[in-house]
Amino acid sequence: MESAVFSGSVAGALFLTTLAGAATVLGAASAFFTRRTNTKVLSVALGLSGGVMVYISFVELLANANRELRAEFSGTTGAIIAMAAFFGGMLAAAVIDRMVPEPVNPHETKSVEDMDKSHPDFHPLRRGAIRFALAIAIHKFPEGLAVFAASLGGLELGIPVAIAMALHNVPEGIAVSVPVYYATGNRRKAFLYASLTGLADPAGAVLGYLLLAPFLTTAVLYTIYAAVAGVMVFVTFDGLLPMAQKYGEPHLSLYGLIAGMFVMALGLAIV
């Protein structure tokens, strides 16, 4: 199947990716209300996002990729391609995650109250808040590509993935704005830097599309789906669930996780 077949949904996929990235602004606003975040609500929201992402990764993205690739190639070859892409997506997400230093990595769980000027991990922020924000932006590139690739297959898949990633981006906005505020003492600058990292989502989508568009056949698209599933599962277990348990009661994050799976299952059933 030629890439032109997918071109009609490119604008919609980019729009959804941009909206998901824009959710970072909500977290960025925490710079104006630091030390006063509703951690219970945040915990449930993170669990909900994780449930949506895990369910859709296994039930839709990976399952469909496995089925289509088995049909495109011989059964065993297609299954191996899907498996390799899934774990390859995990590996790519892990490598990028390791590129971001631990003190500024949004997937390294820290309470908001720990992000103060006296914390030794945050002294490097004084030497370059812009460099810090750029590191987080690099970290977000594959997440933007994940939303974009899922949306290319249609809005029924793209919308729930975009919502899940948007919920994920809210705490990432917090993870940027709060320490930058403590490093600079400037709330507006912290809000601006954190908000700008949200642009990495559509940037990752555009870069990925420019690189892959000439090769975007059915087989390539579903291979990307399997890889996206790997990225989303890694993001969930490395970041969302640990943060959810850190910010609130463990049972709240679990309830949110189950609710997210149920909502996703119900949505897929009625579409």
Distance CA 152, CA 129 (A): 35
In the chain, what percentage of residues exceed pLDDT 70?
71
- Per the listing, tokens 């917090």 go with 174
Average pLDDT over residues 225-237: 85
Residue 216 corresponds to which tokens in the numbers above? Answer: 């975007």
Average pLDDT over residues 46-68: 84
Winning range, highest mean pLDDT, from 59-63, 96-100, 120-124, 156-160: 59-63
> Please, are residues 178 and 30 in contact by the beta-carbon 8 Å criterion?
yes
Q: What is the per-residue pLDDT across 188-206, written as a single tens digit (0 to 9) for each?
A: 887 888 888 888 888 888 8
* pLDDT for position 219: 87
Instruction: From residue 208, give the alpha-carbon distance in Å to each of 56, 96, 142, 176, 195.
Output: 21, 15, 9, 24, 22
pLDDT band per the 50, 70, 90 thresholds, residue 2: very low
Instruction: Give residue 250's identity as a one-letter amino acid code.
Output: P
Q: Does the pLDDT value for residue 226 go beyond 70?
A: yes
Distance CA 89, CA 72 (A): 21
pLDDT band per the 50, 70, 90 thresholds, residue 92: confident
Q: Is the dihedral of CA 72, 76, 82, 88 positive or negative?
A: negative
Q: Does the pLDDT value for residue 46 go beyond 70?
A: yes
Distance CA 12, CA 70 (A): 28
Q: pLDDT averaged over the chain? A: 75
The structure's pTM equals 0.65
Number of helical H runs and strand E runs in the chain: 12, 0
Plot region of 115 (φ>0 → left; ψ -120 to 50 → alpha; else → beta): beta
* pLDDT for position 183: 66
pLDDT band per the 50, 70, 90 thresholds, residue 42: low
* pLDDT for position 81: 95
> Please, are residues 151 and 145 in contact by the beta-carbon 8 Å criterion?
no
Q: Does the pLDDT value for residue 23 go beyond 50?
A: yes
Distance CA 220, CA 254 (A): 35
- Per the listing, tokens 């049909």 go with 71
Q: What is the per-residue pLDDT across 120-162, written as a single tens digit (0 to 9) for each?
A: 444 444 444 555 566 566 667 777 887 888 887 777 778 888 8
In the chain, what percentage of residues exceed pLDDT 90?
8
